[in-house]
Amino acid sequence: MADSAAISKPVILTGAQPTGRLHLGNYLGAVRNWSAMQNDYECYFFVTNQHAITLPKVPAELRKNTYSCLAQYMACGLDPEKSHLFVQSHVYGHNELAWVLSCICPLGQLERMTQFKDKAKKQISVNSGLLFYPVLMAADILLYNAHVVPVGEDQKQHLELTRDLAEKFNATYSPTFNVPEPYIGKAGARVMSLQNPNSKMSKSDPNQLGTVDLIDTADVIRKKIMSAVTDSEGSIRVDAENKPGVTNLISIYSAITEKSVAAIEDEFAGKGYGDFKKTVADAIIAVLDPVRQRYDELIKNQGYLDEVLKAGAEAAQKTAWKTLSKVYRKVGFPERAR
């Protein structure tokens, strides 16, 4: 398993919620970039199960999805020999630091968070965890003193809050935290729903045709791409306002193949949506089919997944204790006698 003592590289930390299967947006906007960073950074990749319960969950499903999320990470190339892979609830310190940060975080700043407002709108009764969510996220990041946090575009505002809280803590108590930088990839940072291309692709979308899941079979991927919403104009070109569906498919194809938008528009000049969608589906399948095959192997071996989580939590806990004791000392909590 990854040996943190031997490494003195800049730190990255990031994670995803185990709220079901990861989708193409999570892959292109996030996990694919994480996997490419493992040689250059000390990496903490975690499953954010404490964030997940801000919306109601069936306990048995949450437990199952936690393992599934880890297996999907690993199938995408996150390697426990190089990186620390763990589950949030296995490490003490996230919530303790979140409490300290909440005491310097203005309430108004939380109430203005776009994701809070969006999620709150959809709830009959809004729990305080939903409001507090970004403070816990800031604690996740600062607990490991991350330098860089690779995320999709939708997490940018949460990163801004994290930076504000780090600066505020440093100014109030003395320099303690790195002020982390977001890393948002150029391509794939905001993949949109295939059925409603004005909304982002999301795990909670009730229309299953709107998302391509990482572990969908080739047939299912093809069906979803072929039924993606387009428009009646018939030309394959980017126009986010008038042709959001086609624009989304072009961005997906560009993120996967690394071809420029101009090259893609040239490639498909004079061709129809059917041909274009077939090519996009083939490109996605070529990338995701090996991921699904690796996933199918990994998910059968819960013993191995448990070993990975145990080693990951042990390494993460060491760093977490170190940061938390420093923070407690600075805010004036006496050390516990040993």
Q: Active-site residue 119, yes or no?
A: yes
Instruction: Tell how strand 181-183 and strand 148-150 pair up.
Output: parallel
Sketch the per residue contact string, 43 through 82, with ligand TYM: x for CB under 6 A, - otherwise.
Answer: -----x--x-------------------------------
Q: Active-site residue 200, yes or no?
A: yes
Residue 183 CB neighbours (<10 A):
18
Sketch the per residue contact string, 188 through 227, with ligand TYM: x for CB under 6 A, - otherwise.
Answer: -xxx--------xx--------------------------
- Which residue in 91, 110, 149, 166 binds ligand TYM (CB under 6 A)? 149
Q: How much helix, strand and coil, in percent to the nearest 5, is found in the chain? A: 55, 10, 35
User: Which one, of 88, 16, 95, 19, lies nearest residue 57 by Cα?
Assistant: 19
- Which residue in 2, 11, 12, 14 binds ligand TYM (CB under 6 A)? 14
Burial of 176 (0-12, 13-18, 19+ CB in 10 A): middle
Q: Active-site residue 64, yes or no?
A: no
CA distances from 290 to 24, 287, 302 (A): 14, 7, 20
CA 139 – CA 165 distance, rounded (Å):
9
Taking the least distance from each CB to ligand TYM, the nearer of 118 and 233 is 118
Q: Per the residue annotation, which of 57, 168, 203, 259 is the catalytic one?
A: 203
- Piece of the chain touching ligand TYM by CB under 6 A; list 187-195, 215-223, 239-247, 282-290: 187-195
Q: Minimum Å distance from CB 266 to ligand TYM? A: 26
Length of the chain: 338
Residue written as tokens 């045709």?
A: 209
Q: Are 44 and 12 in contact (CB under 8 A)?
A: yes
279 makes contact with ligand TYM (CB under 6 A): no
- Piece of the chain touching ligand TYM by CB under 6 A; list 136-144, 223-231, 233-241, 308-316: 136-144
Q: Residue numbers of the site for ligand TYM (CB under 6 A)?
A: 13-17, 25-26, 29-30, 48, 51, 137, 140-141, 149, 151-152, 154-155, 189-191, 200-201
Hey, which residues are catalytic here?
119, 200, 203
